[in-house]
Amino acid sequence: MSLPHALLTELVERPRSGSELAARFDKSIGFFWHASHQQIYRELARLEEAGCIESLPEEPTRGRKRAYRLLPAGMERLRAWMTEPTAPMPLRDELMLRLWSSATVGADGLAQEVHRRLQAHEAKLALYRSFEARDYPDGPDSREAALQHLVLQAGIRYERNWVEMLQEALAILQQPRPAGCDTAAPAPEPSVPPSGAAPARPSDSAAP
Amino acid sequence: MSLPHALLTELVERPRSGSELAARFDKSIGFFWHASHQQIYRELARLEEAGCIESLPEEPTRGRKRAYRLLPAGMERLRAWMTEPTAPMPLRDELMLRLWSSATVGADGLAQEVHRRLQAHEAKLALYRSFEARDYPDGPDSREAALQHLVLQAGIRYERNWVEMLQEALAILQQPRPAGCDTAAPAPEPSVPPSGAAPARPSDSAAP
DNA sequence: TTTTCCATGTAAACAGTTACATGATTCC
DNA sequence: GGAATCATGTAACTGTTTACATGGAAAA
């Protein structure tokens, strides 16, 4: 239930249309929350019906821009939300699952996939760092800027984490084989090791 | 589409029942993929219908344990999945969104919430580290153990990231106010400031 | 036997994704 | 005028969560 509040926050500053909001979700807010335009339009309709926002061009027009303005009820809802408890969002990633599976199933072709993802995360890390260099070049920021800077730094750390992780994963996947295939060539893999072959099964005891 | 493959992976070693699988999702796999027991039972039914697994006690019994065994088709599906491309999972967390919102709406009571989350992540970090100390006490692991160790390390890094982040967030939230009002006192917010007023608005230019 | 807990489910609501549709604007 | 693009939607599907229901086993 975070999307409506993300939208309300964006409307505090000034009225915006769905496409403007969608564009902002690809930039700043997108560091830690993503939303497609379909989600945004649907949520805007809900918020309007709930009396949190109002459409400025009053008649519903398809194809023409339609800005929404924050109403007092929306501001109230936003403030109430700020003090509610949050639940930690668990780490959830398919590539991690595959690395786990590869320990029991075999690592055929996985190095290639890991390498692809590594490149993607490196690119994103570089992008975020360029944002940081451009938008926060000087020392300590004001309180407001510091909070937004912190959010960007979270994105940077997250990507850096992935880069380091995947580099280690590559090292493991390529370790038993000699050199020469660390960037582009897919690592040759042992074809189907027997299922019970893994000597260590820490997962069986990985809880108190 | 990762849940079925997570289940299939768990069934490679030996047949397991729904509750056994659910228990494992709270431990090892839970570091990077979570699933409730409802999801698991539904997915097991699907996998059985698809011929990937088979139920050992053949008649469907409600209330009694029901182990599933991996079938060749399931193993095939698992192997095919290992080479498919993956999409990076974007960072998505509600507390980050609130930190962002607090820059424009005000930070009332947020420090309290940040502190609560900080404690939760510290606890989880300590738990994961204890797993690591117990399950991987000695030096370098075998290839299989190294992969599973890496997954645990990813969880550790993820939690450590959060701890560092939230500590900084606390420092920011408590910095400008001398004392006493960092958790309860309302921050006066500019009621609809003119759009260009903020000194730093990196979000407006945070894209190439 | 009654209670309690465990294991297996069912049902409904919601969030998010994908594919597609339509009206307006702009550019040639 | 026609094509391309932008802005706003609709519809269907999948995945996830929440709440509840039921049968069996074990314990009191």
At A48-94, the pLDDT tens digits run 999 999 999 877 778 899 999 999 999 999 999 998 888 888 889 99
Kind of pairing between the strands at B53-55 and A53-55: unpaired
Chain A, chain B: beta-carbon pairs less than 8 Å apart: 304
Question: With bands split at pLDDT 50, 70 and 90, how would you rate the model's confidence at A189?
Answer: very low
Q: Is the CB of A55 under 7 A from strand C?
A: no
A111 vs A188: CA distance, rounded Å: 9
Pairing of strands B53-55, B16-17: unpaired
**Residue of B2, B6, B198 whose CA lies nearest to A101:** B6
Query: Distance, angstroms, CA A29 to C1' D12?
Result: 28
> How far from the centroid of its chain's Cα atoms is residue A128's Cα?
12
Type of residue numbered B92: R
- Residues 6 or more apart in contact with residue A110 via CB below 8 angstroms: A98, A99, A102, A173, A189, B82, B83
d(CA A94, CA A73): 40
What phi and psi values does residue B55 have, to the nearest 5 degrees? -80, 135
Average pLDDT for residues A103-116, to the nearest whole number? 89
Note whether B119 contacts A: Cβ–Cβ < 8 A.
Answer: no
| Residues B103, A148: C-beta atoms closer than 8 Å | yes
Positions 138-177 in B, CB within 7 angstroms of strand C: none
Instruction: State the residue for tokens 């805007």.
Output: A44
Of the listed ranges B24-38, B72-86, B194-208, the one predicted with least confidence: B194-208
Residue B194 has pLDDT above 60, yes or no: no
Between A62 and A8, the more confident residue is A8
Å between B161 CA and nearest CA of chain A: 7
| pLDDT number for residue A141 | 86
Q: Does B128 touch chain A (CB under 8 A)?
A: no
**Angle, alpha carbons B174-B175-B180 (nearest 5°):** 50
pTM of the entire structure? Answer: 0.84
Region A146-155: mean pLDDT is 93
Structure tokens that stand for B63 in this block? 């209330």
For chain A, say whether B105 makes contact (Cβ under 8 Å).
Answer: yes
A116/B29 Cβ within 8 A: no
Count how many Cα atoms sit within 13 Å of the Cα of residue A126 in the half-sphere of its side chain. Answer: 6
pLDDT exceeds 70 at position A199: no
**Does B158 contact chain A (CB < 8 Å)?**
yes
Q: Cβ B86–A99 below 8 Å, yes or no?
A: no
CA dihedral B40, B44, B47, B52 (to 10 degrees): 120
Q: b or e along A50-85 (b: 16 or more beta carbons within 10 Å of the residue's beta carbon)?
A: eebbbbeeeeeeeeeebbbebbeebbebbbebbeee
Q: What is the mean pLDDT of chain A?
A: 84
Judge whether residue B37 contacts strand C, using its CB and a 7 Å cut-off. Answer: yes
Q: Which helix (H) or strand (E) holds A135?
A: helix A110-135
Contact A13 B116 (CB under 8 A): no
DSSP state of A38: H
Take residue A100 and report the two structure tokens written for it: 């786990």
